[in-house]
Structure 1
Amino acid sequence: MRHYEIVFIVHPDQSEQVPAMIERYRSIVTAKNGRIHRLEDWGRRQLTYLIQKVHKAHYVLMNIECDQETLDELDHAFKFNDAILRHLTVKMDGPVTVASPMMREEKARPASPAAKDLRETTLVT
């Protein structure tokens, strides 16, 4: 089986449906003896350029190991789901299990000033 990295972008109006979409795609992969090595929900982010007159979208990253038949089924599911604005599949040399730079950036980012003020206020009272 081969290893793939898949990123798909979901329309912001369908953000509530993302967990169900992830579960559906996860079941497609695992039903045919595939494995998911990494699954990251990057959340809603600003798009670099407009896609279908939309400024923001919901991003999801998956690193999977599957056969060609499963990959074709996933690709078909992406193409015929109107909520998915774009998707990209890249063949990888091996499994990737470490956190992506996007997730490392979020963990390293300090809390917002409003969150710090809230914490200080609750500590003082």
Structure 2
Amino acid sequence: MRHYEIVFMVHPDQSEQVPAMIERYTAMVTEKGGKVHRLENWGRRNLEYPINKIYKATYVLMNVETTFDVISQLENTFRYSDAVIRSLVLRVDEAITTPSPLAKEGEDKVAAAE
């Protein structure tokens, strides 16, 4: 099995469906014997440029270890889903389990608020 990094952006009108989408995509990976090494919901963020007159989106990052068949299924799901406005799937050499800079930034804000 290979390691992949997946980022997808969800339409702002579908933000309440993000937890269910994450659960569905995680199940697709784990049902075929794969593992999810890192899962981060970065929340709603401004886009650098508008996509179809949309200025905000909910970002989700996943690092998974799975087969190419599952990745093909995920890409097809992203492509035909109205809720996902953009997605990116990259193959990486090894599992990445450390928090991303955006996740660390969010943790720092929470710690400062306390």
Please say whether Structure 1 and Structure 2 have the same fold, judged by a TM-score greater than 0.5.
yes
TM range (shorter): over 0.9
In structure 2, the residue matched to 1:31 is: 31
- Report whether the alignment pairs 1:99 with 2:76: no
How do residues 80-119 of structure 1 correspond to structure 2 at under 5 angstroms? 80-109=80-109, 110-111=112-113
Segment drifting more, 80-89 vs 101-110: 101-110
In structure 2, the residue matched to 1:119 is: none
1:24, 1:103 → 2: CA distance? 22
Q: Which one-letter code corresponds to 1:89 in the other structure?
A: V
Q: TM-score, normalised by structure 2?
A: 0.95
What whole-Å deviation, never above 9, does each CA across 1:78-108 have from its counterpart, x for those lacking one?
Answer: 1010110000011111001110000111122
Question: Pairwise CA RMSD of aligned residues?
Answer: 1.0
1:47, 1:13 → 2: CA distance? 15
* Identity in percent: 54
Q: CA deviation at 1:17?
A: 0.3
Ranges in structure 2 where 5+ consecutive residues have no aligned partner: none
Q: CA deviation at 1:15?
A: 0.1
Counterpart of 1:77 in 2: which secondary structure? helix
Runs of 4 or more, structure 1, over 6 Å off, are: none
2:52, 2:15 → 1: CA distance? 16
Counterpart of 1:19 in 2: which secondary structure? helix
How do residues 20-99 of structure 1 correspond to structure 2 at under 5 angstroms? 20-99=20-99
Q: CA deviation at 1:52?
A: 1.2
Between the two proteins, the alignment pairs up a number of residues equal to 112
Q: TM-score, normalised by structure 1?
A: 0.87
